[in-house]
Structure 1
């Protein structure tokens, strides 16, 4: 990886001063920054970062090998953030489009998504943003306490977005 190149996240900074600090453990200060750093992680195949920035209760259900295989099939072209919205005190949504080319066919596509992120305390008791992965089920009674530790019921907290 050429760390002196422009960071793929689209902010125009050098990677080692932009997203690399997040990949090395610095916490993203908001949902947009987490989204951008996750995109860069897909570009650089930093799968451990992708997993670590997903809601902790979902992390063990992610298939590391499948994520790596998927990223190896693609050449990422650019990230466009279309909209960032604060949904409530703990949740934000990032609408984005990630352009890529399939390596085997050369076909170019755009992965467009409305990703939801939640801020919660991490294991070191610091506020941290996490991606709520809608493809990974949270096996939880909707009346149970939300895994983001907000104190609310799952159905009226993170469950609204999954």
Structure 2
């Protein structure tokens, strides 16, 4: 047949290769913290531990594998806001997943820093759920 089939990106983009695939597999650097956050979500979906570690700032990067929970299935991503501030940025998002048959939501406000032109995830806080 020839040609590569296009598939939707786990982060919600129409085409994986033109969306997060260009960062995860294509070696391009994310231009914004939001692009990096979306590609990190996609890397969790794809269980790409090496990419997750490479994009996590060395000062806060855990030594353990990041995708150890085999029973976790990621279902979708909603980016709520992206606040760039020079070489720092904040991205708030909600990621939906299922673990052990139970649906869950991960609501995080993530901090990012850019060093030498490259964005890194630093850490995140978890706002309390509203009633």
Looking at structure 2, the residues matched to 35 and 42 of structure 1 have their Cα atoms a distance apart, in angstroms, of 11
Superposed displacement of residue 91, structure 1: 0.7
Please state if 1:5 is matched with 2:4. Answer: no
Q: Aligned pair count? A: 120
Unaligned runs of 5+ in 1: 122-126, 136-162
- Structure-2-length-normalised TM-score: 0.84
RCO comparison, higher one (Cα < 8 Å, 6+): 2
**Max Rg structure:** 1
Partner of 1:95: 92
Unaligned runs of 5+ in 2: 126-131
Looking at structure 2, the residues matched to 119 and 17 of structure 1 have their Cα atoms a distance apart, in angstroms, of 22
Q: Kindly indicate which of the two structures has a greater share of residues assigned to strand.
A: 2
- Structure-1-length-normalised TM-score: 0.69
Q: Kindly indicate which of the two structures has a greater share of residues assigned to helix.
A: 1
Show structure 1 runs of 4+ deviating over 2 A.
56-59
Looking at structure 1, the residues matched to 8 and 32 of structure 2 have their Cα atoms a distance apart, in angstroms, of 21
Partner of 1:73: 71
